Amino acid sequence: MNQLKVTLIKSLIGRIPSHRQCARGLGLRRIRHSVVVAATPENVGMINQIRYLVSVEAVSS
């Protein structure tokens, strides 16, 4: 399974509530916090929705 490393690079303050929920759903808690998630359609959809707040890298297994 492919994995992605997602890092929150911008603040969630003042953002649309659904975008905040996407970040929390991915496990992102604060700026510069990184998580590794599976590249499932659900996770990729959440990442695409908040792509202006995060940076994404592919993680090789």
pLDDT digits (tens, 9 = 90+) for 2-54: 999 999 999 999 999 999 999 999 999 999 999 999 999 999 999 999 999 99
Residue 41 is predicted with a pLDDT of 96
pTM of the model: 0.91
Helices (H) and strands (E) in the chain, counts: 2, 3
User: How many domains, in total, are found in the chain?
Assistant: 1
Residue 61 has pLDDT above 70, yes or no: no
Phi, psi of 40 (to 5 degrees): -85, 160
Closest CA to 2 of 53, 55, 41: 41
Of 61 and 15, the structure prediction assigns the larger pLDDT to: 15
Matching residue, tokens 């700026």: 31
Domain of residue 50 covers 3-59
Token pair of 57 as six digits: 């890298």
| Residues 6 or more apart in contact with residue 47 via CB below 8 angstroms | 4, 6, 26, 54, 56
CATH of the domain at 25: 3.30.1390.20
